[in-house]
Amino acid sequence: MTDAHISLEGDMTHAGMSPVVSEAKEIAPGRYQGTLDLNMRGDWTVLFHIALPGGRTLDRQMILRNIQAT
Amino acid sequence: MGIHSSNPSLRSADAAPFDLLRVPIIGGFLRWRHSRTVLQIPVFIVAVAMILHGLVGPTLAPKNLATVLSWVHFRGALVLVLLCAGNFFCLACPFMLVRNVARRVFRPRFNWPRALRNKWISVALFVAILFSYELFDLWSSPWWTASLAVGYFVAVLVVDGFFKHASFCKFVCPIGQFNFIASTLSPLEVAVRKPAVCDRCATKDCIRGRRDILGEQRSPAAGSPVTRAMPGLVILQRGCELALFQPRKVGNMDCTFCLDCVHACPHDNVGVISRLPAAELMVDPIRSGIGYFSHRKDIAALAIVFSFGALLNAFGMVSPVYALEAWLGKLLSVNHEAPVLGIIFATFLLAEPAILLGAAAWLTRALGGSKRTLVPLAVRYSYALVPLGFGMWLAHYGFHFFTGMLTIVPVTQAALASAGVHLLGAPQWTWTGLPIHVVRPMELGFISLGFAGSLLVVHHLAEEDCPTQPMRAFIPWAAVCVVIGLASVWLMFQPMEMRATLMGG
């Protein structure tokens, strides 16, 4: 998957908490890298909003459990 | 604004109390017979939307109407309205709308069993909801949240389908009990305007209601031959379904603000009147439909669960709880969440109150020379902890409300978009609410307000209990307030941590 536009969104498991958003950049063909500031301890759900070159869109999600402060 | 209280000793003789029902437009609307239904219908529609979205909508809590509305907006608005006005959420209760419709078809036949005419069931359900909130991570589960709301509708229909009057509200509903005990701190109360008018009243419609007898409107005397012979008389206007007789009613306990008494009173002598918040906790007159607070261990238990449960509910959202449960899990060699949670709940809701209240009661007897024994002392003073508990509920729920108040906009946009209705462009998910550093001082203010309220109530009770040496009774209970107050502030400054599983996976 190349030339895609990927927005990252991190949500806490509790409603009402502010999501954190970021963009992933293509650092090599098909490889994307982005940073999210997960600013609270606990479980986070990261959403990937993906826009493909042909106009198709995809949404994927990943759960990150037990995030601790660094 | 004048201060009014149903209790004559607290009523100001020369001040004209503020009466919400005298306010233009608002008062006129509330005095209208169908005002409650008009308020209930939109709340019911929102409840249905929440349930549907919770069951079939996004599974991510921040994106779902069920979780956002329940755990951010409903709870926050509830405590703020209780603080600023009164129990208006019970007034607009959507469950009662459904019940009233159902009662057009099914007439309840039974009276609520005498042995269950107390708060023990509702206190147990209150604890069960707090426990379920942690065990099933309700805040992170739209499906569970929606299921809870569905369960509530079913429970209302079952209880009030079989039992007469407002049995569910008075003896079962845990949300109602929360509202009742919190509304002892509200500035408004449904109360008689002029007691002398009630003294002259012969019909007592405020509690009996009005029925249509042979096409003629009458107020039946309770148990009169006419009503006994014709049990199917059409009710034109209900009297109080919670057995609160207005002339003897004291404070907001058990009052749903349904305003049936307002509509029933033929003398227009019931208002929604200003009074001193928490004043009803300082006095112990016999209360219509309740009796004496000092004799009601069940209501004292409600006050204790309300006060200590406020800390427990907030404790479930901060980092130390996970360290504690990990330690307990290791100690007990268990991986399951329920037993660990059970120990934490027993510690917070049984052991901690028993130690603190028991020690304070013992010291009150030993130092102040109070004539009461330990349990009656603990029962009487437990009501003084309600302001502190309310302060903590306000701080906790107010935090979520103020920091997440705008999240309803993108969530509603997304919900409508999924139904094919696109409004105001793409949802802006970064719309949340006030920054945390702005909300923190408010939280401190709520806790301080509750602390001050509890100290005032304790001082009043101490003066009444030990008139010659009130400070000796005051100090032990003030110390309890200090412990709870400091624990509340400590909790507020703990790092928040929200896991969907308490045991960390």
Chain B hits for A13, CB-CB cut-off 8 Å, are 61, 137, 139-140, 498-500
- For residue B501, pLDDT over 70 is answered with no
- Chain B residue numbers with beta carbons less than 8 Å from the beta carbon of A21 are 429-430
Instruction: Give yes or no for a contact between B256 and B176, defined as CB atoms under 8 angstroms apart.
Output: yes
Helix, strand, coil: what percent of chain A each, to 5?
0, 60, 40
Q: Which residues on chain A are in Cβ contact (under 8 Å) with B505?
A: 65-66
Q: How close B497 gets to chain A, by Cα (Å)?
A: 5
Domain boundaries, chain A: 5-67
Q: Distance (Å, rounded) from C-alpha B145 to C-alpha B139? A: 7
Residue B77: the pLDDT is 97
The residues, any chain, with a CB within 8 Å of residue B437's CB and separated by 6 or more, are none
Residue in chain A nearest B70 by alpha carbon:
A15
Query: How much of chain B exceeds pLDDT 90, in percent?
Result: 79
Does residue B149 contact residue B46 with C-beta atoms inside 8 Å?
Answer: no
What's residue B502's pLDDT?
47
Residues of B within 8 A of A17 (CB-CB) are 62, 403-404, 432, 498
Closest Cβ opposite residue A15 in set B61, B429, B430 = B61
Best A7, A14, A63 member to test B by mutation, with max B CBs in 10 Å, is A14
**pLDDT of A16-66, one tens digit each?**
787 888 999 999 999 999 999 888 888 899 999 999 998 899 989 898 888
Rounded Cα distance, B217 and B237, in Å: 10
Residue written as tokens 């049990």? B231
What chain B residue is nearest to A62 in terms of C-alpha separation? B60
A12 phi/psi in degrees, rounded to 5: -75, 165
Q: Calculate the alpha carbon distances from B101 to B169, B293, B486 in Å.
A: 16, 34, 48
In this structure, of B24-38, B366-380, B442-456, the range with the lowest mean pLDDT score is: B366-380
Helix axes B374-382, B352-368, angle to 10 degrees: 110
Contacting residues of B for A40, CB less than 8 Å apart: 495-498
pLDDT of residue B318: 87
ipTM metric: 0.83
Predicted model pTM: 0.91
Phi, psi of B216 (to 5 degrees): -120, 135
Rounded CA separation B260/B370 (Å):
42
pLDDT at B335: 84
Whether the predicted pLDDT of B393 surpasses 90: yes
Q: How many Å lie between the alpha carbon of A66 and the closest alpha carbon of chain B?
A: 6
Contact across the interface for B505 and A66, Cβ inside 8 Å: yes
Distance from C-alpha of B213 to C-alpha of B224, rounded to nearest angstrom:
12
Compare B166 and A38 and report the one with higher pLDDT.
B166
Q: What is the mean pLDDT of residues B119-139?
A: 95
pLDDT at B107 over 70: yes
* Residue B123 to chain A, least CA–CA distance (Å): 26
Q: If you ran DSSP here, which 8-state letter would residue A49 be given?
A: E
pLDDT of B12 over the 80 cut: no
Q: Which band of pLDDT confidence, cut at 50, 70 and 90, is reported for residue B217?
A: low
* Lowest model confidence (mean pLDDT) among A9-23, B6-20, B441-455: B6-20
Our CA-based measurement puts residue A34 at a distance from the nearest CA of chain B, in whole angstroms, of: 18
**Is A61 part of the contact surface with chain B (CB cutoff 8 Å)?**
yes
What pLDDT digit, counting tens, does each position of B67-100 carry? 999 999 999 999 999 999 999 999 999 999 999 9
Let me know: does B140 contact B61? Beta carbons within 8 Å.
Answer: yes
Average pLDDT, chain B: 91
Which of A:1-40 have CB within 8 Å of B? 9, 11-19, 21, 40
